[in-house]
Amino acid sequence: MFNTVSDLDSGQRLLVRIDINAPVENGHAQDNRRFERHAESIRTLLEDGHAVAVMAHQGRPGRDTFISLESHADILGDHLSQDVEFVPDTFGEDALEATEALESGEVLLLENVRMCEDELPEKEPETHAGSEFVQTLAPKFDAYVNDAYSAAHRAHASLVGFPLVMDAYAGPVMEAEYTANSAIQDREFEGPVTMVLGGTKAEDLIPVIERVDDTVDRFCLGGIVGELFLRAAGHDVGYDVEETEFFDHQWDDHANTIESILETYGDRLTLAADLAYEGDDGERAETAVEGLEKDTSYLDVGTESAETYADLVRESDAVFVKGALGVFEDERFATGTVTVLEAIAETDCFSVVGGGDTSRAIGMYGLDEDDFGHVSIAGGAYVRALTGEPLVGIDVLETAAAA
């Protein structure tokens, strides 16, 4: 087991890793549940008299969502009702000066850690621990706190490097998500178990289908992952159109696995029978999969598919959701995601809804969180935990505690 912040003496200088990776609109972060949960954690730390320097990431280099954390500092500050100083630097002179000046009860947010060359890619914790980034920041603090459960599946420097060179603790969000998701892993269900997979990160979900083959009876697919499976099934969809960067690279890397999963587990996979897109008049339009065209962007599963998925949910004893079935942020393309979430809420089944973006749909469409078993701010990390796969960010905290 790992140490937690309740093991800390008060009044420490803390380096705290959180996950406020958020949707981006017009270059600005949009509030999601991650801010609220992390603000609660930070408030507890500040009340204990700690000085808190926060590290976090946003997007991935090369993507539109790869932006500075300046707007994140404002959102975090609003949730905290306290000023969060934004420092546009990760571990250079400005960052060191700002962290040195930080006093008990104060909080600052360092720049997007993925802008620091040492953060990516995935490496062994020992290698990350020796990086200039870790070696420069670690001595400036009394302890490191990892509260970023939702990023704990990534072997990046800010998540796995620091615990090897300083006292390391799990934060309150990390502890709560770990406890909830570990308990789910051990549950047994009498009736059908359904997994609804969508969103943009197909590469995180493809391996999950094989790993949970003995516990999940059927998968309902949508979003980018669903379109890639439709492509594998021979339909004209799942190709990048204009500026999109979702499909081709994930297809190039995973086409063989997708095709073999379709062959082996095809009877358990429910693919969309129709998809929705933006018609010439700007309204939602739909087509059966037989009529799909390679150069159209499909933004949701169709109404017939949404109803089929909702029927499967109603017959289920447990439902696990990771990723949205469409671009639910735009009301025209929320049908798939919302129809399935409403069916879960109305049904007496055990359910988990995960994903930083997907969990946001619950609040956006007036659903009651109490109608779901667990709403996780983690996506990829929660489905990985569900399959019994270790999370490297937690492993290093446990190793640190045992040392």
Q: Note the residues at the interface with ligand ADP (CB under 6 A).
A: 23, 198-201, 223-224, 298-299, 323-324, 326-327, 329, 355-358, 379
The CB-of-145 to ligand X15 minimum distance in angstroms stands at 17
Alpha-carbon dihedral 99, 103, 106, 112, rounded to 10 degrees: 0
Q: Exposed, middle or buried by CB within 10 Å (0-12, 13-18, 19+), for 157?
A: buried
The Cβ-side half-sphere exposure at 206, using a 13 Å CA radius, reads 22
The CB-of-231 to ligand ADP minimum distance in angstroms stands at 13
Q: How far apart are CA 231 and CA 363, in angstroms?
A: 32
How many CB atoms within 10 Å of residue 217?
Answer: 18
154 marked among binding-site residues: yes
CA distances for 305 relative to 37, 39, 270, angstroms? 33, 38, 9
- Residue 147 touches which of ligand ADP, ligand X15, none (CB < 5 to 8 A by kind)? none
Dihedral of CA 42/43/47/49: which sign?
positive
217 marked among binding-site residues: no
Q: Is the Cβ of residue 161 or residue 226 nearer to ligand ADP in the bound state?
A: 226
58 marked among binding-site residues: yes
Q: How far apart are CA 369 and CA 363, in angstroms?
A: 8
Instruction: State the greatest distance between any 2 C-alpha atoms of the chain, in Å, as a whole number.
Output: 64
- Residue 19 touches which of ligand X15, ligand ADP, none (CB < 5 to 8 A by kind)? ligand X15
Q: Is the Cβ of residue 202 or residue 276 nearer to ligand X15 in the bound state?
A: 202
- Residue 198 touches which of ligand X15, ligand ADP, none (CB < 5 to 8 A by kind)? ligand ADP
357 marked among binding-site residues: yes
The CB-of-200 to ligand X15 minimum distance in angstroms stands at 8
Q: How far apart are CA 388 and CA 219, in angstroms?
A: 18
Dihedrals phi, psi of 128, to nearest 5 degrees: -65, -35
Q: Is the Cβ of residue 33 or residue 284 nearer to ligand X15 in the bound state?
A: 33
Amino acid residing at 116: C
Distance, C-alpha 349 to centroid of its chain: 23
The CB-of-250 to ligand X15 minimum distance in angstroms stands at 13
Structure token pair of residue 274 = 């129709």
Q: How far apart are CA 51 and CA 394, in angstroms?
A: 23
Structure token pair of residue 309 = 């998925």
Report angle CA 208, 272, 203 to the nearest 5 degrees.
Answer: 30
Nearest CA-CA partner of 150 in 40, 33, 252: 33
Q: How far apart are CA 252 and CA 177, in angstroms?
A: 33
The CB-of-197 to ligand ADP minimum distance in angstroms stands at 10
By beta-carbon distance, which residue lies closest to ligand X15?
379
Q: Is the Cβ of residue 19 or residue 167 nearer to ligand X15 in the bound state?
A: 19
34 marked among binding-site residues: yes
The CB-of-298 to ligand ADP minimum distance in angstroms stands at 6
Q: Is the Cβ of residue 157 or residue 299 nearer to ligand ADP in the bound state?
A: 299
Q: How far apart are CA 45 and CA 15, in angstroms?
A: 11
20 marked among binding-site residues: yes
The CB-of-305 to ligand X15 minimum distance in angstroms stands at 22
- Residue 229 touches which of ligand ADP, ligand X15, none (CB < 5 to 8 A by kind)? none
Q: Is the Cβ of residue 51 or residue 208 nearer to ligand X15 in the bound state?
A: 208
What residues line the site for ligand X15 (CB under 6 A)? 19, 21, 60, 150-151, 154, 201, 204, 355-356, 378-380
Q: Is the Cβ of residue 351 or residue 358 nearer to ligand ADP in the bound state?
A: 358
Detail the residues annotated as belonging to a binding site for substrate.
19-21, 34, 57-60, 114, 154
Detail the residues annotated as belonging to a binding site for (2R)-3-phosphoglycerate.
34, 114, 154
Detail the residues annotated as belonging to a binding site.
19-21, 34, 57-60, 114, 154, 329, 355-358
Detail the residues annotated as belonging to a binding site for ATP.
329, 355-358
